[in-house]
Structure 1
Amino acid sequence: MAVAPPEAETGTGVPSARRSLRRRLGGGVVLLVLTVLFLLPWWTLFASGVDWPFPVVLTGTLVFAAGLVSFPFLMAAGHGQRRSDRAARVADSALGVVWVLFTWSALGGLLHLVLMGLGVGGVGPARIIAVAVAVVSAGLLAWGHHEAMRVPRVKRLDLVVPRLGGGLDGTRVVVLADTHYGPIDRADWSARVAEAVNALDADVVVHAGDIADGTPAQRREQSAPLGTIRSRLAKVYVTGNHEYFGEAQGWLDRMAELGWEPLHNRHVVVERGGDLLVLAGVDDVTAESSGLAGHRANLHGALAGADPDQPVLLVAHQPKYVGQAADAGIDLQISGHTHGGQIWPFNFLVRIDQPVVHGLSRHGERTQLYTSRGAGFWGPPFRVFAPSEITLLTLRSA
């Protein structure tokens, strides 16, 4: 009688094989995407009938090949267990450059096809398109880097909250989101952002998550200026998804150390002019899958003990949490996460996952959602057609 091998008896062999297959397929998809990202700009700039001298083509080919080969290793070194900030800076910048080149190469390629269809082909048009793609991309990258590194502009908005008591009319809520302190040292930028927030004379300051890429110890100097931010009534903070790539509980503790109220599925109540406002917050929607004990988005827990007749301002990192907020009759949800797309046309991909990319929207009978474009940037140090913001919401009663 044949004896089944141990993995057949326990059933562990099949799941292991499936996991291995998924990893291989995932790796293959990533490699395919990277190849396309690098190949299309190379083709547009050096091989689409431009007929550049051989040394130019060779140099361009070597640059793109070196970028494609080294990119996965740089990303692994920068964002894996080693957390090398130097490698992350190079990889993130390369990702931004190749994304912009890919986008405008695709547009240039479409134009080239149209011209060929009209009978306008040859070396001349191909070279004009290649040069235009290079110049436009370089210009957008320079401008986008400036936009990413500058202190965000202040966006002001009056927002009517029908259940808001008259004593709270005119309450000034300043929103920060997605500061993303990371591999590029932006301690000076952080200090200037804190000064800009303090100049707005806030009653409430909200940090809507994604405070950093890295641990509190790594980003201690960059996060320190948050301790200088002032408000009359409260400073509140919730975790974003990026905290769960590092040390989410450590960031909650760090923000408490800096004088903020971490709304870890809880609420606080503030009073102005004899009227009350509930400030509630939930963990990011990715918290539960992180495996960190006690972390998950729990709106019921956040509102436990709150007076249901009082207006509620909910802070939830991702806009897509607004479905639960609307079901619970929340008056106003404040979110970030999207960066407004950060680098056009990525905003169209963000829209697939999120109900809103930026700005004010209404959901259900009562709930309003404000989605901030965020103050910082993730990964590539560029913002193209998606400016950063610090938001001043002035709450108005009906």
Structure 2
Amino acid sequence: MSRPVLTGTLIAAGGLLSTGYATALEPHRVQVTSYRLSPPNWPGGLRLRVAVLTDFHAHPRCMGETEIAAVVSRTNALAPDVTVLLGDYGSQSTGPVPFETVARLLSGLEAPKGVYAIQGNHDWGDDREARRRGHGPTRAERALREAGLGFLENAVARLDLPVPLWLAGLESEMTPRVPQAPALLDRHRLSVLGRTLQHVPPGEPVILLAHEPDIFALDLDSRIVLTLSGHTHGGQIRILGWSPWIPSRYGLRYAYGHVVERGRDLLVSAGLGSHFVAGRPVRLGVPPEIVIVDIAAAEANTS
């Protein structure tokens, strides 16, 4: 982006921020974003609707109890076969909605093939007691399990379908003892994923739930037909395709939306909650979203 264009976009952003749009309106304007996918190796004849909810960062000033209840109601009305929750349930700002309240509200989600949750980086990073112990369960994990939600931490679940299809939930990059040096982190992630998938029979397809999308850059097991992620908030602020900061080693590459690389599919949600800036929730150009994914084999999606 040229300097004049960048200057203009920043001025425009400042105007929007000063009017309160990015703090008072967009963080609350939850939209439904829909995708139709036909991943390679998807089981023929199988149609599946998946709802993706992630990055709640639940706080009364943004994604509060009323807003979460509305998200649950709207998601149920979209009639997903399975709903997945991809982490970061609590807010880092003072006065968050308690994990236990978030989990209770999310227990109202309805999907005939199940509701499954994984953890995000903040579920570990903001849990001082779990970090001190160096191991789980985190407060988020306890709350989710006690609310009766399916919980996948380096674990798999076979969905109740006419043909084999598995969900695999991967731990967050911020889980204790996970190395942070990029090369070591990548090797660790692949090793943990390999151990997790050892319970899946050869040739049976897997949908991978990974809070951070960066794992998609690696040479993943060929059984993984789709990766679902959050974490980036789509940049949370995006102006003409530019974001000031994206929490990914790959920048815009995995910031948001449907990504296809080497014949593999990744979906990254912008999430529902917001990080706070100067004491206010901020979003600009990437409104919070419920994601709906309709998946079928290629011939079914063209019929």
Match runs of 1:38-49 below 5 Å: none
The TM-score, its normalising length taken from structure 2, stands at: 0.78
CA contact (8 A) 1:314 1:332 kept: yes
Question: Quick one: which of 17, 34, 52 aligns to 1:175?
Answer: 52
Deviation at 1:271, TM superposition (A): 3.1
The TM-score, its normalising length taken from structure 1, stands at: 0.60
Deviation at 1:237, TM superposition (A): 1.1
> What secondary structure is seen at the aligned counterpart in 2 of 1:334?
strand
In 2, Cα distance between equivalents of 1:133 and 1:246? 30
Match runs of 1:288-307 below 5 Å: 288-289=176-177, 297=189, 298-307=192-201
Question: In the alignment, what sits opposite 2:220?
Answer: 327
Question: Quick one: which of 107, 111, 119 aligns to 1:227?
Answer: 107
Kindly tell me: are residues 188 and 368 of structure 1, through their superposed partners in 2, closer, same or farther at Cα, counting changes over 3 Å?
same
Kindly tell me: are residues 228 and 135 of structure 1, through their superposed partners in 2, closer, same or farther at Cα, counting changes over 3 Å?
same
Deviation per residue, 1:174-227 (Å, 9 max, x gap): 000101113637011110010011001111101111111369993333442101
Question: In the alignment, what sits opposite 1:359?
Answer: 257
**Code of the aligned partner of 1:265:** N
- Structure 1 runs not aligned, ≥5 long: 1-103, 111-128
- 1:375 partnered with 2:253: no
Kindly tell me: are residues 134 and 209 of structure 1, through their superposed partners in 2, closer, same or farther at Cα, counting changes over 3 Å?
closer
Question: In the alignment, what sits opposite 2:203?
Answer: 309
Deviation per residue, 1:278-324 (Å, 9 max, x gap): 10010011213479xxxx85212221210121111000001101134
Deviation per residue, 1:103-154 (Å, 9 max, x gap): x9x82699xxxxxxxxxxxxxxxxxx8xx88644423x3354211023x211
Task: Say which structure is richer in helix.
Answer: 1
In 1, Cα distance between equivalents of 2:110 and 2:37? 22
Kindly tell me: are residues 133 and 180 of structure 1, through their superposed partners in 2, closer, same or farther at Cα, counting changes over 3 Å?
closer
**Code of the aligned partner of 2:266:** L
Question: Quick one: which of 213, 230, 234 aligns to 1:336?
Answer: 230
CA contact (8 A) 1:209 1:238 kept: yes
Deviation at 1:361, TM superposition (A): 0.8
The number of aligned residues is 265
> What secondary structure is seen at the aligned counterpart in 1 of 2:243?
helix
- Structure 2 runs not aligned, ≥5 long: 128-136, 180-187, 299-303
> What secondary structure is seen at the aligned counterpart in 1 of 2:138?
helix
> What secondary structure is seen at the aligned counterpart in 2 of 1:314?
strand
Q: Return the index of the structure with the highest Cα Rg.
A: 1
**Code of the aligned partner of 1:188:** T
- 1:389 partnered with 2:289: yes
Kindly tell me: are residues 218 and 134 of structure 1, through their superposed partners in 2, closer, same or farther at Cα, counting changes over 3 Å?
closer
- 1:287 partnered with 2:175: yes
Deviation per residue, 1:241-266 (Å, 9 max, x gap): 10112336221221122222111000
> What secondary structure is seen at the aligned counterpart in 2 of 1:166?
coil
Kindly tell me: are residues 352 and 208 of structure 1, through their superposed partners in 2, closer, same or farther at Cα, counting changes over 3 Å?
closer
Q: CA RMSD in A?
A: 3.0
- Structure with more contact order per residue of length (Cα contacts < 8 Å, sep ≥ 6): 2
Match runs of 1:150-229 below 5 Å: 150=29, 152-169=30-47, 171-182=48-59, 184=61, 186-213=64-91, 218-229=98-109
**Percent identical residues:** 28
- 1:257 partnered with 2:136: no
**Code of the aligned partner of 1:147:** E
**Code of the aligned partner of 2:220:** D
Match runs of 1:7-156 below 5 Å: 107=7, 135-139=15-19, 141-150=20-29, 152-156=30-34
Deviation at 1:277, TM superposition (A): 0.7
CA contact (8 A) 2:168 2:206 kept: yes
